[in-house]
Chain A
Amino acid sequence: MPATSVVLQARGLTKSFVGHTVLEDVDLELRAGEVLGLVGENGAGKSTLMKILAGVHSPDSGTVELNGEAVSFSHPVQAQQAGISTVFQEFNLLPERSVAENIYLGREPRRLGLVDVGQMHRDTEELLTGLGVTGLRPGQRVRSLSVAEQQIVEIAKAVSYDARIISMDEPTAALAEHEVELLYGIIGTLTARGVAILYVSHRLKEIFRLCDTITVLKDGRQVTTQPASSLDDAELVRLMVGRSISSFFPDPVEGTVVGEPALELRDAGNGYVDGVDLTLRAGEVVGIAGLQGSGRTELFEGIFGVRPFTRGTMSIAGTQVRPRSPRAAIRAGLAMVTEDRKATGLALNQTILDNALGVVRAVFPRRTAQARRDVPGLLSSLEVSARATDQEVQFLSGGNQQKVVLARWLTTEPRVVLMDEPTRGIDVGAKHSIYELMRSLAADGVAVLMVSSELPEVIGMSDRILVMRDGRLAGELPAGSSEETVLQLATGVTVAPTTTTPAPTDAPTEEVAR
Chain B
Amino acid sequence: MRSRLQPLTSTGIVVAVLVLSLVVGAILTAVEGRNFLSSGNIDAVLTGCSILGLIAIGQTLVILVGSLDLSVPFVVSLTSVVAAGQMAGEPANVVPAVLLALGIAAVIGLANGLVVSFLKVHGFIATLGMGLIISGYLGSNYQGSHGLAPRSFRLIDATQIGPVPLTFLIMLGCALLAIVMLRRTRLGHHLYAVGGSPEVARLSGIRTSVPVIAAHVLCSVLAAVAGLLLLSRLSVGSPTIGSQGDYDLMSIAAVVLGGTLLAGGKGNIVGTLAGVAIFAVLDNVMGVMQVNPFLKDVIRGLVIVAAVAVYAGREIDRRPARFDRPTGLDAVLQETK
Given A105-B200, A106-B205, A311-B326, verify A96-B189 contact (CB < 8 Å). Answer: no
Interface residues on A, range: 20 to 34
A106 to B319 Cα, complex, angstroms: 30
A311 to B337 Cα, complex, angstroms: 11
Q: How far is the CB of A482 from chain B (nearest CB, A)?
A: 29
Interface membership of A272, Cβ < 8 A: yes
A143 to B321 Cα, complex, angstroms: 17
Query: Do residues A114 and B196 form an inter-chain contact, with CB atoms below 8 A?
Result: no
Given A94-B197, A272-B321, A295-B322, verify A310-B186 contact (CB < 8 Å). Answer: no
A115 to B193 Cα, complex, angstroms: 15
Interface membership of A178, Cβ < 8 A: no
Kindly identify which residue among B180, B196, B324 contacts A96, using a CB–CB cutoff of 8 Å. B196
Interface membership of B298, Cβ < 8 A: no
Contacts of A269 in B (CB 8 A): 323
A270 to B324 Cα, complex, angstroms: 9
A350 to B245 Cα, complex, angstroms: 43
Query: Do residues A76 and B321 form an inter-chain contact, with CB atoms below 8 A?
Result: no
Over the window 70-81 of chain A, the binary record of Cβ atoms lying under 8 Å from chain B Cβ atoms (1 yes, 0 no) is 000001110010
A113 to B202 Cα, complex, angstroms: 22
Given A92-B199, A310-B330, verify A105-B206 contact (CB < 8 Å). Answer: yes
Given A94-B197, A101-B189, A105-B200, verify A115-B323 contact (CB < 8 Å). Answer: no
Query: Do residues B319 and A108 form an inter-chain contact, with CB atoms below 8 A?
Result: no
Given A97-B192, A114-B185, verify A77-B323 contact (CB < 8 Å). Answer: no
Kindly identify which residue among B192, B261, B265, B326 contacts A310, using a CB–CB cutoff of 8 Å. B326
Query: Do residues B326 and A106 form an inter-chain contact, with CB atoms below 8 A?
Result: no
Interface membership of B334, Cβ < 8 A: yes
Q: How far is the CB of A148 from chain B (nearest CB, A)?
A: 15
Q: Which of B265, B266, B322 has the most CB of A within 10 A?
A: B322
Quick one: closest B residue to A78, CB to CB? B205
Kindly identify which residue among A94, A96, A271 contacts B325, using a CB–CB cutoff of 8 Å. A271
Interface membership of A471, Cβ < 8 A: yes
Query: Do residues B204 and A470 form an inter-chain contact, with CB atoms below 8 A?
Result: no
Contacts of A108 in B (CB 8 A): 186, 189
Q: List 24 A-B contacts (CB under 8 A).
A: A76-B202, A76-B205, A77-B205, A80-B205, A93-B200, A94-B200, A94-B265, A96-B196, A97-B196, A101-B192, A105-B193, A105-B200, A114-B184, A114-B185, A115-B184, A143-B318, A272-B323, A274-B322, A310-B325, A310-B326, A310-B330, A311-B334, A322-B335, A471-B323
Residues of A within 8 A of B (CB): 75-77, 80, 92-97, 101, 105-108, 110, 113-115, 117, 143-144, 269-274, 295, 310-311, 322, 470-471
Given contacts A94-B193, A270-B323, 20 further A-B contacts (CB under 8 A): A76-B203, A77-B205, A94-B196, A96-B196, A96-B265, A97-B192, A97-B193, A105-B200, A105-B201, A106-B193, A106-B205, A108-B186, A110-B186, A113-B185, A115-B184, A271-B324, A272-B323, A310-B334, A470-B322, A471-B323
